Structure 1
């Protein structure tokens, strides 16, 4: 074991994860609605500002960080050796990056060159993804391996035949990693750092600083051919957010640190002040921008996540007001399926030739529909969970 963590499922983390994924579904849907206020949309590329929408992705990164100590220590407790643990981490990373690249390319399918429509190619991709990452509960292991092999072969086939409409990327390629791919890289780096520093809070704090400094140094590269290196700077700020979540998880749940009452409050408050101060001081050099993954955006987002989680922890763990968490538990325990479902529904409707009424894509009615759509996804995930469909990387 790396850290002596509190045992059992942490409802406050589940609640934060469930709320975040539902809000993510909402903002993804509302982005296609016309006539909505600017504060309900992502800030533009060159703007020095952020909206609540720009905090959703980093909130999920923060939750990934909070879960890392529990995930790694749970596998060690089950008897996983060093190599088996690293294999699990790499498999999860490959899964996230693969899903991210495929999802980022779905909208660029050239039907004529690929040999199948965008809807068919995308739905086949999601079917293969479910075959590969389904959490099977089948006693006959050979059936599990067979189904996963079919899914992997299907993904390889779809990747080979893919031809895109984007002139800069005619073949399946990471012209951007996709949201899941970005999470995958940050998850990998954070897992390495967590193990390297053996879960010590001071080491994690140091690496958050290193990530911010690394972003600053990489952004100064302006030599020809170094553009791809500069792009890696964004992975560093994403990793800083994941490490922030990891650090907060240790503050709350590492029983060797044993922070309670006023000591816990002062530690969390001190870290929150540090994040806000650093973000404020960095803003003149690096504007607040999600698209550019600037340190000021990352640190402000981490600070907001600290506040939200701390409130949920107080409400659920301290005050024991937690019965409501059961309503979003299906989403909290199956976030990957919840994230994929809206796209599956979208391409299924496209294949069926069904279009939504225009009124559902405009103004207030569009916003209300987006909220209802998020709730519908919750019930759909709950139903799929009862059918045994649960995705696990």
Structure 2
């Protein structure tokens, strides 16, 4: 007698290439390296204009203004792999939604704490800013570290301690000059903005079932939503509240641009290869640049105001950078050099918060760097060296099994 067993095969949204994509990891690692550099060089006096953020009303963007969009773009490139990986592991629909919501909450909490750190009133809080910040980052590591204990309850004990510490720090926090302010989202911080865009993009990706045309349409809808909300009949009326999500819509558009490019390169059902792939990617680039150019006279290019022209130009730049990396790393197999960026690419959250940890630790210990490192060329060179040092430090922390995952 022959017995037949039915095996539940997870329904994938897209048929993606298996395994880690080195070019995406390298792109993520390079972006984080540049982020550390530009954040540190922002405190250096006498730096050239191209190393500074363009002013809000300047109608321009600099090299620095592309770093945040690059983060959003990479988030988008990773979403199809992350969601399909969860489905392949057997996650149900609701398990997947909970995972997405949990990651979003994590990013919002991190952004909220980081934004409020600089407003902390030490007298009212009863704790120095540096100590409060160090305890916060310690709690982050406890909550989001990937533990390797055979007994799961040990890991949950560490996570529980971290959560309790976060709640305590939120409870004692007092901010502002008068010390009467609690933790509040004046804005959500970089991580928080990424969190909102990630949430919206995940919802859209599932709603359109990974269809590239649907994603392209949603990019257009995000841009159109911004344009409509800028019209006087919305902006200057009792319905102005409708425009409260314009910034998130533009950030989501950047994430969706990265998501769409990921499908072009790695969705095997699309089967885009050779000249077909080049024409599709080139066409996407041209559409973004033409749209950016057409919208610029009306809305300008501004990172601060999160305008469509800034978003589309940044996404187009990211498309070019990634395409070059893909050709070198995945096509030509020139990839040995990527080993330097892999630790940061595989542990992006720790790499992101590590410079802040070092900064507050130096303050707590009363250590000051030589004044020469905060001016002109020496400051720029030090910022570059500092960024490289952070990547080496992350590599060492990886060996100690400190790896954060939302």
Q: Per the shorter chain, which TM-score range?
A: over 0.9
Residue 365 of structure 1 aligns with which residue? 378
Matches of 2:161 and 2:241, distance apart in 1: 34
Residue 35 of structure 1 aligns with which residue? 46
Matches of 1:168 and 1:41, distance apart in 2: 32
Distance apart, 1:170 and its partner CA = 1.5
Unaligned 5+ segments in structure 2 are 1-11
TM-score by length of 1: 0.98
Matches of 2:250 and 2:342, distance apart in 1: 29
Structure 2 residue 299 is matched with structure 1 residue 286: yes
Matches of 1:315 and 1:169, distance apart in 2: 54
Residue 74 of structure 2 aligns with which residue? 63
Residue 112 of structure 1 aligns with which residue? 123
More displaced 10-residue stretch of structure 1: 48-57 or 217-226: 217-226
Q: Which of residues 26, 29, 33 is equivalent to 2:37?
A: 26
Distance apart, 1:150 and its partner CA = 1.1
Q: List aligned pairs for 1:254-269, cutoff 5 A.
A: 254-269=267-282
Structure 2 residue 205 is matched with structure 1 residue 201: no
Matches of 1:223 and 1:167, distance apart in 2: 33
Q: C-alpha offsets along residues 64-94 of structure 1, whole Å, 9 cap, x if unaligned? A: 0000000000000000000000000000000
Distance apart, 1:161 and its partner CA = 1.2
Residue 323 of structure 1 aligns with which residue? 336
Residue 86 of structure 1 aligns with which residue? 97
Residue 17 of structure 2 aligns with which residue? 6
Matches of 1:145 and 1:214, distance apart in 2: 43
Distance apart, 1:223 and its partner CA = 4.6
Distance apart, 1:146 and its partner CA = 1.1
Residue 187 of structure 1 aligns with which residue? 198
Contact 1:275 1:303 in 2 (8 A): yes
Residue 353 of structure 1 aligns with which residue? 366
Q: Which of residues 319, 322, 326 is equivalent to 1:313?
A: 326
Contact 1:164 1:172 in 2 (8 A): yes
Matches of 1:212 and 1:53, distance apart in 2: 23
Distance apart, 1:128 and its partner CA = 0.5
Residue 103 of structure 1 aligns with which residue? 114
Distance apart, 1:228 and its partner CA = 5.7
For 1:283, what is the secondary structure of its paired residue?
A: helix
Q: C-alpha offsets along residues 91-111 of structure 1, whole Å, 9 cap, x if unaligned? A: 000000100111111111100
Q: C-alpha offsets along residues 136-162 of structure 1, whole Å, 9 cap, x if unaligned? A: 111111111111111111111111211
Structure 2 residue 398 is matched with structure 1 residue 385: yes
Matches of 1:227 and 1:368, distance apart in 2: 46
Distance apart, 1:226 and its partner CA = 5.9
Q: Which of residues 16, 33, 41 is equivalent to 2:27?
A: 16
Q: C-alpha offsets along residues 282-317 of structure 1, whole Å, 9 cap, x if unaligned? A: 001111000100000000000000000000001111
Residue 148 of structure 1 aligns with which residue? 159
- From the superposition, tell whether residues 169 and 301 of structure 1 become closer, same or farther in structure 2 (CA, over 3 Å): farther
Contact 2:229 2:240 in 1 (8 A): no
Residue 132 of structure 1 aligns with which residue? 143
Whose radius of gyration is greater, 1 or 2?
A: 2
Contact 2:124 2:179 in 1 (8 A): no
